[in-house]
Structure 1
């Protein structure tokens, strides 16, 4: 952690860090912070103990006038650091640093041109995949779509009771899908006018992409499993599972099929794909919320154990 501490709080912050068993190294540069006027303090903190340290810094009022930076260390060679991890209950890979998760959720839920561009490009790619009945292009569209970020943010908002985040994520999802579908519909109309696509391209047998507009119980179950895995990847120290999440749910392909159905007047495809989209989004939101709720419950127990370690430190 790198902390810009207002001068009146410096001694209290240093006392807090020195007394915490999760902290293995501290440095302070007196007068090192110009804005706010005060000190620059850095500390090595075991990931398992980060939440309580951040909470106590909040109680001291550091974020009100100063700044707390939380930066994961890619390589950490330290015997005191290793001993701190051993003292603190839990595993660093399992630890959820809630400040990081909430901040990332706000970032992923921001409605900006980059998000809208990726949504539109992914939906266009999905529409082309449907016309060509190409599973490879469908997978590419799934990976390109940025919609998992705000969907996961819905679960974070519910668990952490951040209602502004919930509203932001909902707004971003709705506007993102509407803009992407409208853009893909407009280009599909142009392609229809040029004779590049016909309604036969949508209603013909499509063994590679027919699952997009035929939701069933497995669609919901897959969305539950994929979202749970995605949330675990985001909240833990290991993020290797996200690509599997992106190619497991069919939100973007469903949006692409909706656009084609509207442009070509194939309304049963529109309704089926809209239902697929709703099933996937609701399943992902529910799974994200449940996964985060379980993690919060587990780590609340770990925090209690950690307080005991702090009260009775052992080597």
Structure 2
């Protein structure tokens, strides 16, 4: 529920009150004596979904933009008469004016934005190097990235170029700064006593997670954008949703920075691609949801519905085109991951099936370890496979077991392998 207070300009009192009477809205009017431009102050309660429609009608009745209109959130309205308004305005979204106000509130001042972004990147970079998911999530609470994403989408659907430009600029500059901070921090920490000697960041699980982006990565970004738009429209849960948006952007940006610091071009490229794809996906889902929710610019003499539609569609087309271009990388990584897992499963199944043969009675298959990677397979390198075999008492181990396994696995997968067999003494009762 909202409480709207409007200062009525001179000469428009009757037309403004006629609109409220026509809407069957209860109101209270107080004569204004403080300034000569206004003749009265009218206050009335209304459900949040009805604010935009009523204000539009009041503007048509002579309520100018230079007048004062205050929309206040109310804790409770006690009246049996308010029920009919709640039935008429049963929606859940806030008004266009409140949406703009919330978007501007979510986008902090430039200095505040930079400070929080740098701090969150520093914490996230430390979390990546420590392989600490909890630290990374803690950094996301600080990251101020939800505001710019929402601001850009709100500005686009409402035809506010200033708001849209500010949101886009904050996002692009912010993520570039996050990558730079990650690179500087990595360069300062590399080869110091704070990190293990000869650390290979590619082997850190939290880093590796951001360097092999697949199509599944899009679900986080798309879901975060939709959740962000819903939380703003319904004024609920923005802080928690902001964490989800930051998770999709800050850790891969910090990973790209670490890749630059360590000189691993592929790490920087893969993580940078994930940043851009997630950024586009968040903006796509938020922009689309705001537009489908019915938000449009103020319907004045300059309002052109066709122009607004063209502007939104143009930006949507640009975002989709960028995502499709970058999705080539995601598609390639997705296929590579699938083929790699398929080969690893086939190696496991073939080794297990061979040792289950009666010819190898007393030899029990325990497991297989391989670092096979389909991306490197195209270079026709030889891959080492380690198989652990349990040997029961009295069992005979063929002297060429490793060669036999090599022949069978290589023939089944078509991969040039080097098989190494380790044995465990086993007792079976």
TM over 0.5: yes
CA–CA distance in structure 2, aligned partners of residues 104 and 35 of structure 1: 31
Query: 2:15·2:62 contact (CA, 8 Å) conserved in 1?
Result: no
Secondary structure of 2:190 counterpart = helix
- Structure with bigger helix share is 1
Query: 2:102·2:232 contact (CA, 8 Å) conserved in 1?
Result: no
> What corresponds to 2:291 in structure 1?
293
> What corresponds to 1:83 in structure 2?
84
Deviation at 1:145, TM superposition (A): 1.3
> What corresponds to 2:375 in structure 1?
none
Describe the shift of the 1:134–1:83 C-alpha distance in structure 2 as closer, same or farther (beyond 3 A). same
CA–CA distance in structure 1, aligned partners of residues 198 and 75 of structure 2: 53
Query: 1:47·1:95 contact (CA, 8 Å) conserved in 2?
Result: yes
The range that moved more, 152-161 or 69-78, is 152-161
> 2:240 pairs with 237, 240, 243, which one?
243
List aligned pairs for 1:111-150, cutoff 5 A: 111-150=109-148
> What corresponds to 1:55 in structure 2?
56
> What corresponds to 2:35 in structure 1?
34
CA–CA distance in structure 1, aligned partners of residues 10 and 283 of structure 2: 44
Deviation at 1:27, TM superposition (A): 1.6
Query: 1:108·1:149 contact (CA, 8 Å) conserved in 2?
Result: yes
Normalising by structure 2, we get a TM-score of 0.62
Describe the shift of the 1:35–1:246 C-alpha distance in structure 2 as closer, same or farther (beyond 3 A). farther
Deviation at 1:121, TM superposition (A): 1.0
Give deviations 1:51-110, integer Å, cap 9, x for gaps.
111112333453422111111212222211122112x1533xx23312111222233345
Aligned residues: 291
Superposed CA RMSD in Å reads 2.5
Query: 1:4·1:41 contact (CA, 8 Å) conserved in 2?
Result: yes
The range that moved more, 257-266 or 120-129, is 257-266
Deviation at 1:200, TM superposition (A): 5.1
Give deviations 1:20-65, integer Å, cap 9, x for gaps.
13x3x31222125538543222111122321111112333453422
Secondary structure of 1:77 counterpart = coil
Q: Bigger relative contact order, structure 1 or 2, given CA contacts below 8 A and separation 6+?
A: 1
> What corresponds to 1:207 in structure 2?
205
Give deviations 1:178-200, integer Å, cap 9, x for gaps.
33333443343333375434795
Normalising by structure 1, we get a TM-score of 0.82
Query: 1:120·1:181 contact (CA, 8 Å) conserved in 2?
Result: no
CA–CA distance in structure 2, aligned partners of residues 61 and 198 of structure 1: 71
CA–CA distance in structure 2, aligned partners of residues 189 and 113 of structure 1: 25
> 1:272 pairs with 270, 273, 296, which one?
270
The range that moved more, 181-190 or 212-221, is 181-190
1:14 aligns with 2:17: yes
